[in-house]
Amino acid sequence: MALSVGIGFNKEKNTNLAAAAAIEQAKRNIHVGRIDLILVLATPHYSPQNIITEIGDQLDSPRVIGCSTEGIILDNTIHRRGIAIALFHSNEMKFVTGSTQHLNLQNANQAAESLVQSCKSEYGQSERQLFFILTEGAPNSIPDFQHHLRRNLQEDPDIPIIGACCTSILAPESSFLFYNNETIKKSAAVFMVGGKVKVKMACRQGWHPIGRPRFIDKSSGHIIHVIDGRPAIELYQTFFPDQCRFLKNPSSSLNIYYPLGIASGKRGVFFLRNVVDVLDDGSIVCNDNVEAGSQIHIMLGNRDSCLQVTRNAINELKGFFSDQPSGAALMIASERHDRILGRAFERELNYFKRTIGEAIPIIGFVSHGEIFDVGEPHQQSPNSKQNNSLMVIGIK
Protein backbone atom coordinates (compact mmCIF):
# COMPACT_ATOMS: atom_id res chain seq x y z
CA MET A 1 0.00 0.00 0.00
CA ALA A 2 1.63 3.22 -1.15
CA LEU A 3 -0.16 5.59 1.18
CA SER A 4 -1.76 4.79 4.54
CA VAL A 5 -4.18 7.30 5.98
CA GLY A 6 -5.84 7.41 9.40
CA ILE A 7 -8.40 10.07 10.19
CA GLY A 8 -9.83 10.98 13.57
CA PHE A 9 -12.45 13.52 14.50
CA ASN A 10 -14.00 14.80 17.71
CA LYS A 11 -16.23 17.70 18.68
CA GLU A 12 -15.93 17.61 22.45
CA LYS A 13 -16.12 21.12 23.92
CA ASN A 14 -12.81 20.93 25.71
CA THR A 15 -9.91 21.43 23.29
CA ASN A 16 -7.54 18.97 24.90
CA LEU A 17 -10.16 16.26 25.20
CA ALA A 18 -11.29 16.75 21.60
CA ALA A 19 -7.74 16.77 20.24
CA ALA A 20 -6.74 13.73 22.28
CA ALA A 21 -9.80 11.80 21.13
CA ALA A 22 -9.26 12.74 17.48
CA ILE A 23 -5.59 11.70 17.68
CA GLU A 24 -6.52 8.43 19.32
CA GLN A 25 -9.09 7.66 16.63
CA ALA A 26 -6.66 8.58 13.85
CA LYS A 27 -3.99 6.31 15.35
CA ARG A 28 -6.47 3.47 15.51
CA ASN A 29 -7.35 3.99 11.86
CA ILE A 30 -3.87 4.08 10.37
CA HIS A 31 -2.50 0.80 11.76
CA VAL A 32 1.17 1.83 11.35
CA GLY A 33 3.80 3.03 13.77
CA ARG A 34 5.62 5.78 11.89
CA ILE A 35 3.74 8.91 10.93
CA ASP A 36 5.18 10.97 8.05
CA LEU A 37 2.75 13.87 7.95
CA ILE A 38 -0.05 15.17 10.15
CA LEU A 39 -2.84 17.30 8.70
CA VAL A 40 -4.82 19.19 11.34
CA LEU A 41 -8.10 21.00 10.83
CA ALA A 42 -9.95 22.80 13.59
CA THR A 43 -12.93 25.09 13.78
CA PRO A 44 -12.32 28.42 15.52
CA HIS A 45 -14.00 27.20 18.70
CA TYR A 46 -10.78 25.58 19.86
CA SER A 47 -7.47 26.77 21.23
CA PRO A 48 -4.89 26.06 18.48
CA GLN A 49 -2.03 26.10 20.97
CA ASN A 50 -3.65 23.36 23.03
CA ILE A 51 -4.15 21.28 19.91
CA ILE A 52 -0.48 21.57 18.96
CA THR A 53 0.55 20.71 22.52
CA GLU A 54 -1.68 17.64 22.48
CA ILE A 55 -0.25 16.54 19.12
CA GLY A 56 3.31 17.04 20.43
CA ASP A 57 2.51 14.95 23.49
CA GLN A 58 0.92 12.07 21.63
CA LEU A 59 2.55 11.85 18.21
CA ASP A 60 6.15 11.64 17.11
CA SER A 61 6.04 13.16 13.66
CA PRO A 62 7.60 16.63 13.48
CA ARG A 63 5.72 17.39 10.26
CA VAL A 64 2.44 19.04 11.03
CA ILE A 65 0.42 21.28 8.77
CA GLY A 66 -3.12 22.51 9.01
CA CYS A 67 -5.44 25.44 9.44
CA SER A 68 -8.57 26.79 10.99
CA THR A 69 -11.78 26.39 9.07
CA GLU A 70 -15.49 27.04 9.41
CA GLY A 71 -16.34 23.57 8.16
CA ILE A 72 -14.50 20.27 8.30
CA ILE A 73 -15.39 17.85 5.54
CA LEU A 74 -15.17 14.20 6.52
CA ASP A 75 -16.49 11.60 4.15
CA ASN A 76 -20.08 12.67 3.54
CA THR A 77 -20.56 15.25 6.30
CA ILE A 78 -19.55 18.83 6.97
CA HIS A 79 -18.90 19.43 10.65
CA ARG A 80 -19.29 23.02 11.81
CA ARG A 81 -17.51 22.32 15.07
CA GLY A 82 -14.70 19.94 15.85
CA ILE A 83 -11.08 18.93 15.40
CA ALA A 84 -9.93 16.56 12.65
CA ILE A 85 -6.54 14.88 12.58
CA ALA A 86 -5.32 13.02 9.48
CA LEU A 87 -2.18 10.91 9.73
CA PHE A 88 -0.24 9.95 6.58
CA HIS A 89 2.38 7.28 6.17
CA SER A 90 4.15 5.91 3.15
CA ASN A 91 7.38 4.02 2.61
CA GLU A 92 7.45 5.09 -1.02
CA MET A 93 6.67 8.78 -0.69
CA LYS A 94 8.56 11.65 0.78
CA PHE A 95 6.84 14.42 2.73
CA VAL A 96 8.50 17.73 3.49
CA THR A 97 7.06 20.78 5.21
CA GLY A 98 8.12 24.41 5.06
CA SER A 99 6.85 27.83 5.95
CA THR A 100 7.38 31.53 5.68
CA GLN A 101 6.13 33.98 8.22
CA HIS A 102 5.37 37.72 8.30
CA LEU A 103 3.74 37.74 4.88
CA ASN A 104 2.67 41.30 5.51
CA LEU A 105 6.31 42.40 5.70
CA GLN A 106 7.45 40.65 2.53
CA ASN A 107 6.75 41.25 -1.12
CA ALA A 108 5.44 38.41 -3.24
CA ASN A 109 8.89 37.46 -4.51
CA GLN A 110 10.46 37.38 -1.06
CA ALA A 111 7.59 35.36 0.35
CA ALA A 112 7.66 32.84 -2.47
CA GLU A 113 11.44 32.48 -2.34
CA SER A 114 11.59 31.95 1.41
CA LEU A 115 8.71 29.48 1.31
CA VAL A 116 10.25 27.37 -1.43
CA GLN A 117 13.70 27.50 0.21
CA SER A 118 12.27 26.38 3.56
CA CYS A 119 11.33 23.01 2.14
CA LYS A 120 13.58 22.69 -0.89
CA SER A 121 16.78 22.35 1.10
CA GLU A 122 15.33 19.43 3.02
CA TYR A 123 13.91 17.85 -0.08
CA GLY A 124 17.18 17.68 -2.06
CA GLN A 125 16.99 16.48 -5.63
CA SER A 126 14.12 14.03 -5.23
CA GLU A 127 11.27 14.16 -7.65
CA ARG A 128 8.43 16.39 -6.41
CA GLN A 129 4.84 15.76 -7.28
CA LEU A 130 2.75 18.22 -5.29
CA PHE A 131 3.26 21.59 -3.67
CA PHE A 132 0.37 22.05 -1.24
CA ILE A 133 0.15 25.48 0.33
CA LEU A 134 -1.94 26.95 3.13
CA THR A 135 -1.95 30.66 3.88
CA GLU A 136 -3.28 32.85 6.64
CA GLY A 137 -3.23 36.55 5.88
CA ALA A 138 -2.41 36.14 2.19
CA PRO A 139 0.29 38.18 0.44
CA ASN A 140 -0.84 41.32 -1.30
CA SER A 141 -1.22 39.65 -4.66
CA ILE A 142 -1.76 35.94 -4.89
CA PRO A 143 -1.18 35.82 -8.67
CA ASP A 144 2.20 37.49 -8.13
CA PHE A 145 2.94 35.14 -5.27
CA GLN A 146 2.01 32.17 -7.44
CA HIS A 147 4.09 33.50 -10.29
CA HIS A 148 7.13 33.72 -8.04
CA LEU A 149 6.46 30.33 -6.53
CA ARG A 150 6.40 28.87 -10.01
CA ARG A 151 9.63 30.68 -10.85
CA ASN A 152 11.31 29.38 -7.70
CA LEU A 153 10.13 25.89 -8.50
CA GLN A 154 11.47 26.05 -12.08
CA GLU A 155 13.27 22.72 -11.67
CA ASP A 156 9.80 21.17 -11.53
CA PRO A 157 7.90 23.16 -14.15
CA ASP A 158 4.85 20.90 -14.06
CA ILE A 159 4.49 20.54 -10.30
CA PRO A 160 0.95 21.46 -9.26
CA ILE A 161 0.78 24.36 -6.82
CA ILE A 162 -2.49 24.03 -5.00
CA GLY A 163 -3.87 25.08 -1.67
CA ALA A 164 -6.08 27.49 0.15
CA CYS A 165 -6.28 30.56 2.27
CA CYS A 166 -7.98 30.17 5.65
CA THR A 167 -8.44 33.82 6.60
CA SER A 168 -12.02 34.83 7.16
CA ILE A 169 -12.61 38.43 6.14
CA LEU A 170 -15.10 38.97 8.94
CA ALA A 171 -13.20 37.23 11.70
CA PRO A 172 -9.51 37.31 10.79
CA GLU A 173 -8.55 37.13 14.45
CA SER A 174 -9.93 33.59 14.70
CA SER A 175 -7.92 32.23 11.77
CA PHE A 176 -4.62 30.41 12.22
CA LEU A 177 -2.23 27.93 10.67
CA PHE A 178 -0.64 24.88 12.23
CA TYR A 179 2.97 24.38 11.29
CA ASN A 180 5.03 21.67 12.96
CA ASN A 181 5.07 22.49 16.65
CA GLU A 182 3.59 25.98 16.50
CA THR A 183 0.54 27.96 15.47
CA ILE A 184 1.21 30.87 13.17
CA LYS A 185 -0.59 33.81 11.57
CA LYS A 186 0.16 36.01 8.56
CA SER A 187 2.13 33.11 7.20
CA ALA A 188 2.18 30.42 4.58
CA ALA A 189 2.90 26.77 5.22
CA VAL A 190 3.52 24.11 2.64
CA PHE A 191 3.97 20.42 2.33
CA MET A 192 5.64 18.85 -0.66
CA VAL A 193 5.14 15.29 -1.67
CA GLY A 194 7.40 13.29 -3.94
CA GLY A 195 8.47 9.79 -4.76
CA LYS A 196 6.09 7.08 -5.87
CA VAL A 197 2.96 9.13 -5.57
CA LYS A 198 0.09 9.66 -7.94
CA VAL A 199 -1.95 12.81 -7.73
CA LYS A 200 -5.02 13.85 -9.66
CA MET A 201 -6.91 17.05 -9.14
CA ALA A 202 -9.66 19.23 -10.47
CA CYS A 203 -10.91 22.67 -9.65
CA ARG A 204 -14.17 24.26 -10.78
CA GLN A 205 -16.21 27.33 -10.15
CA GLY A 206 -19.86 27.63 -11.02
CA TRP A 207 -20.12 31.28 -11.97
CA HIS A 208 -20.93 32.57 -15.47
CA PRO A 209 -20.66 36.09 -16.92
CA ILE A 210 -23.83 38.02 -17.40
CA GLY A 211 -24.58 41.28 -19.19
CA ARG A 212 -22.57 42.96 -21.93
CA PRO A 213 -18.78 43.04 -21.70
CA ARG A 214 -17.29 46.09 -20.05
CA PHE A 215 -13.70 47.20 -19.71
CA ILE A 216 -11.65 48.46 -16.82
CA ASP A 217 -10.33 51.90 -17.72
CA LYS A 218 -8.43 52.57 -14.54
CA SER A 219 -7.24 50.38 -11.68
CA SER A 220 -4.53 50.22 -9.03
CA GLY A 221 -3.65 47.02 -7.24
CA HIS A 222 -6.88 45.60 -5.81
CA ILE A 223 -8.94 48.70 -6.65
CA ILE A 224 -11.04 49.20 -9.77
CA HIS A 225 -11.61 52.92 -10.22
CA VAL A 226 -13.31 53.32 -13.60
CA ILE A 227 -15.25 50.94 -15.85
CA ASP A 228 -16.35 52.12 -19.28
CA GLY A 229 -15.68 55.70 -18.30
CA ARG A 230 -17.90 55.59 -15.23
CA PRO A 231 -17.18 54.97 -11.51
CA ALA A 232 -16.78 51.23 -11.01
CA ILE A 233 -19.71 50.93 -8.60
CA GLU A 234 -22.11 51.83 -11.43
CA LEU A 235 -21.60 48.31 -12.76
CA TYR A 236 -23.41 46.95 -9.71
CA GLN A 237 -25.84 49.87 -9.60
CA THR A 238 -26.98 48.99 -13.12
CA PHE A 239 -28.05 45.50 -12.12
CA PHE A 240 -28.75 45.86 -8.41
CA PRO A 241 -30.17 49.31 -7.86
CA ASP A 242 -31.90 48.27 -4.62
CA GLN A 243 -29.32 45.91 -3.16
CA CYS A 244 -26.15 47.79 -3.99
CA ARG A 245 -25.83 49.20 -0.47
CA PHE A 246 -25.24 45.65 0.84
CA LEU A 247 -22.17 45.21 -1.33
CA LYS A 248 -19.81 46.29 1.44
CA ASN A 249 -20.99 43.39 3.56
CA PRO A 250 -18.89 40.40 2.54
CA SER A 251 -21.55 37.99 3.75
CA SER A 252 -24.40 39.61 1.82
CA SER A 253 -26.12 37.54 -0.82
CA LEU A 254 -25.15 40.16 -3.40
CA ASN A 255 -21.48 39.73 -2.61
CA ILE A 256 -21.67 35.97 -2.52
CA TYR A 257 -23.80 35.19 -5.52
CA TYR A 258 -22.59 37.95 -7.84
CA PRO A 259 -18.80 38.46 -7.77
CA LEU A 260 -16.82 40.15 -10.52
CA GLY A 261 -15.29 38.17 -13.35
CA ILE A 262 -12.11 39.29 -15.10
CA ALA A 263 -11.58 37.72 -18.53
CA SER A 264 -8.43 35.63 -18.45
CA GLY A 265 -7.64 35.98 -22.14
CA LYS A 266 -8.86 32.50 -22.83
CA ARG A 267 -12.37 32.19 -24.11
CA GLY A 268 -14.84 31.40 -21.38
CA VAL A 269 -12.28 31.50 -18.56
CA PHE A 270 -12.72 34.17 -15.90
CA PHE A 271 -10.85 35.03 -12.72
CA LEU A 272 -13.30 35.76 -9.96
CA ARG A 273 -12.88 38.75 -7.69
CA ASN A 274 -14.94 39.43 -4.58
CA VAL A 275 -15.80 42.91 -3.50
CA VAL A 276 -14.19 43.77 -0.18
CA ASP A 277 -15.13 47.44 0.04
CA VAL A 278 -16.61 50.34 -1.90
CA LEU A 279 -14.82 53.69 -1.66
CA ASP A 280 -16.53 57.07 -1.53
CA ASP A 281 -15.58 57.89 -5.13
CA GLY A 282 -17.35 54.76 -6.33
CA SER A 283 -14.19 52.67 -6.69
CA ILE A 284 -14.48 48.98 -5.86
CA VAL A 285 -11.88 47.24 -3.69
CA CYS A 286 -11.42 43.58 -4.63
CA ASN A 287 -9.78 40.70 -2.84
CA ASP A 288 -6.94 40.55 -5.37
CA ASN A 289 -5.24 42.39 -8.20
CA VAL A 290 -7.15 43.68 -11.21
CA GLU A 291 -5.51 45.02 -14.35
CA ALA A 292 -6.64 48.01 -16.36
CA GLY A 293 -7.81 47.12 -19.86
CA SER A 294 -9.32 43.82 -18.70
CA GLN A 295 -12.80 42.82 -19.74
CA ILE A 296 -15.03 42.68 -16.69
CA HIS A 297 -18.43 41.17 -15.96
CA ILE A 298 -20.85 40.66 -13.18
CA MET A 299 -20.79 36.90 -12.62
CA LEU A 300 -23.86 34.88 -11.78
CA GLY A 301 -23.77 31.70 -9.75
CA ASN A 302 -26.54 29.66 -8.28
CA ARG A 303 -27.08 26.28 -6.73
CA ASP A 304 -27.67 24.51 -10.02
CA SER A 305 -24.58 25.90 -11.70
CA CYS A 306 -22.43 25.11 -8.65
CA LEU A 307 -23.84 21.63 -8.33
CA GLN A 308 -23.00 21.03 -11.97
CA VAL A 309 -19.37 22.03 -11.56
CA THR A 310 -19.09 20.04 -8.35
CA ARG A 311 -20.09 16.96 -10.25
CA ASN A 312 -17.76 17.86 -13.12
CA ALA A 313 -14.84 18.19 -10.71
CA ILE A 314 -15.72 14.96 -8.91
CA ASN A 315 -16.11 13.09 -12.19
CA GLU A 316 -12.52 13.93 -13.08
CA LEU A 317 -11.42 11.67 -10.23
CA LYS A 318 -13.64 8.84 -11.41
CA GLY A 319 -11.59 5.70 -11.80
CA PHE A 320 -8.50 7.19 -10.14
CA PHE A 321 -8.70 4.84 -7.18
CA SER A 322 -10.18 1.87 -8.98
CA ASP A 323 -6.89 0.05 -9.59
CA GLN A 324 -5.57 0.71 -6.08
CA PRO A 325 -8.18 1.35 -3.40
CA SER A 326 -5.81 3.18 -1.03
CA GLY A 327 -4.80 6.75 -0.38
CA ALA A 328 -7.14 9.62 0.31
CA ALA A 329 -9.24 12.29 -1.32
CA LEU A 330 -8.96 15.92 -0.30
CA MET A 331 -11.69 18.44 -0.91
CA ILE A 332 -11.38 22.19 -0.53
CA ALA A 333 -14.60 24.10 -0.92
CA SER A 334 -14.80 27.86 -0.85
CA GLU A 335 -17.11 29.26 1.77
CA ARG A 336 -19.15 30.78 -1.04
CA HIS A 337 -19.53 27.45 -2.77
CA ASP A 338 -20.53 25.98 0.59
CA ARG A 339 -23.05 28.77 1.17
CA ILE A 340 -24.65 28.42 -2.25
CA LEU A 341 -24.90 24.64 -2.09
CA GLY A 342 -26.34 24.75 1.40
CA ARG A 343 -28.02 21.50 2.33
CA ALA A 344 -27.27 20.12 -1.12
CA PHE A 345 -23.56 19.98 -0.29
CA GLU A 346 -23.82 16.84 1.80
CA ARG A 347 -25.73 15.21 -1.05
CA GLU A 348 -22.80 16.01 -3.32
CA LEU A 349 -20.39 14.58 -0.78
CA ASN A 350 -22.33 11.35 -0.97
CA TYR A 351 -21.88 11.47 -4.74
CA PHE A 352 -18.15 12.07 -4.25
CA LYS A 353 -17.90 9.12 -1.90
CA ARG A 354 -19.73 6.86 -4.32
CA THR A 355 -17.62 8.05 -7.23
CA ILE A 356 -14.21 7.43 -5.70
CA GLY A 357 -15.23 4.35 -3.72
CA GLU A 358 -16.47 3.84 -0.18
CA ALA A 359 -13.03 2.67 1.02
CA ILE A 360 -11.28 5.95 0.23
CA PRO A 361 -11.40 8.44 3.11
CA ILE A 362 -12.35 12.00 2.26
CA ILE A 363 -11.01 14.90 4.28
CA GLY A 364 -11.36 18.54 3.48
CA PHE A 365 -12.34 21.95 4.67
CA VAL A 366 -14.14 25.14 3.84
CA SER A 367 -11.69 27.81 2.72
CA HIS A 368 -11.57 31.50 1.96
CA GLY A 369 -9.67 31.33 -1.29
CA GLU A 370 -8.34 28.48 -3.31
CA ILE A 371 -5.02 28.31 -5.11
CA PHE A 372 -4.94 26.07 -8.13
CA ASP A 373 -2.00 26.20 -10.50
CA VAL A 374 -1.33 23.01 -12.39
CA GLY A 375 1.46 24.34 -14.54
CA GLU A 376 -0.45 25.71 -17.47
CA PRO A 377 -3.83 27.44 -17.58
CA HIS A 378 -6.62 24.95 -17.68
CA GLN A 379 -9.70 25.56 -19.73
CA GLN A 380 -12.01 25.34 -16.73
CA SER A 381 -9.55 25.79 -13.92
CA PRO A 382 -8.09 29.28 -13.82
CA ASN A 383 -4.60 29.25 -12.39
CA SER A 384 -5.21 31.90 -9.83
CA LYS A 385 -6.63 32.40 -6.42
CA GLN A 386 -10.39 32.03 -6.37
CA ASN A 387 -12.79 32.35 -3.54
CA ASN A 388 -15.65 30.57 -5.14
CA SER A 389 -14.40 27.23 -6.31
CA LEU A 390 -14.42 23.60 -5.39
CA MET A 391 -11.19 21.66 -5.51
CA VAL A 392 -10.80 17.90 -5.31
CA ILE A 393 -7.50 16.07 -5.10
CA GLY A 394 -6.89 12.37 -5.18
CA ILE A 395 -3.58 11.13 -3.77
CA LYS A 396 -2.34 7.55 -3.63
Partner 1 sequence: MFWAIFITSLFLLISIGAFTALYQKRKIQNLSASLQKFKESFDEIDEQAKLIIKTDLELNRTQEELDKRLKGLDALQAISRLVSTSLDEREIFELLGEPLVSDMGLEQYFFLILNNQGSLNCAAHLGASEEESKRILAFIGNNLTLVDQLKNRQAISSINATDDERAFFLKHLKTRHFIITPIMAKNTMLGILLATSHSTTYAVTEGDEEIASILSDQIGQAIQNARLFEEVFHSRQKLELMVQERTRQLQEALSNVQQVSKMKSEFISAVSHELRTPLTSIKGYASLLSSGKLGNIPDAVRERLEKINHHSDSLVQLINNLLDISRIESGKTGMKRQRSSIASIIDNVQDLLAPQLKEKNVRLVLKVPPETPQLLVDQSQIERVFINLVGNAVKFTPSEGTITVTAEPRESDVLFSVADTGIGLKEDDRRKLFNEFYRVDNDINQSMKGSGLGLSLAKKIIEAHNGQIWVDSIYTKGSTFSFTIPHQDDQT
Binding site for partner 1 (CB under 8 A): 11, 13, 45, 70, 79-81, 168-171, 174, 210-212, 238-240, 243, 249-253, 257-258, 298, 300, 302-303, 335-336, 338-340, 342-343, 366, 368
**Do 256 and 206 form a contact (C-beta atoms < 8 A)?**
no
27 vs 273, which CB is nearer to partner 1?
Answer: 273
**Minimum separation from the CB atom of position 258 to partner 1 (A):** 7
Return the exposure string of 309-339: e unless at least 16 CB atoms fall within 10 Å of the residue's CB, then b. Answer: bbbebbebbeebbeeeeebbbbbbbbbbbbb
Instruction: CB nearer to partner 1: give 94 or 336.
Output: 336
In this complex, which beta carbon is closest to partner 1, that of residue 62 or of residue 342? Answer: 342
**CB of residue 345 vs partner 1: minimum separation in angstroms?**
10
Ramachandran region of residue 315, left (φ > 0), alpha (ψ -120 to 50) or beta?
alpha
What is the spatial distance between Cα 396 and Cα 392, in angstroms, rounded to a whole number?
13
Which ranges of the chain does DSSP label H, i.e. alpha helix?
Answer: 15-30, 48-58, 108-123, 142-152, 234-239, 253-257, 303-316, 335-341, 344-356
| CB 129 within 8 Å of CB 194 | yes
CA 159, CA 149: separation in Å to the nearest integer? Answer: 11
CB contact set of 194 (below 8 Å; sequence gap of 6+): 93, 94, 96, 123, 126, 127, 128, 129, 130
170 C-beta neighbours (distance < 10 Å), count = 10
Which among 115, 107, 147 is positioned nearest to 133, based on CA atoms?
115
Residue 102 or 230: the one with the smaller Cβ distance to partner 1 is 230
| Interatomic CA distance for residues 103 and 111, integer angstroms | 6
Q: How far is the CB of 336 from partner 1 (least distance, A)?
A: 8
Kindly state the smallest distance separating residue 32's Cβ from partner 1, in Å: 32
Smallest separation, CB 210 to partner 1 (Å): 5
Smallest gap, in angstroms, from Cβ of residue 141 to partner 1? 22
Rounded to a whole number of angstroms, the minimum distance from the CB of residue 285 to partner 1 is: 16
Q: Which is nearer to partner 1, 113 or 338 (CB)?
A: 338
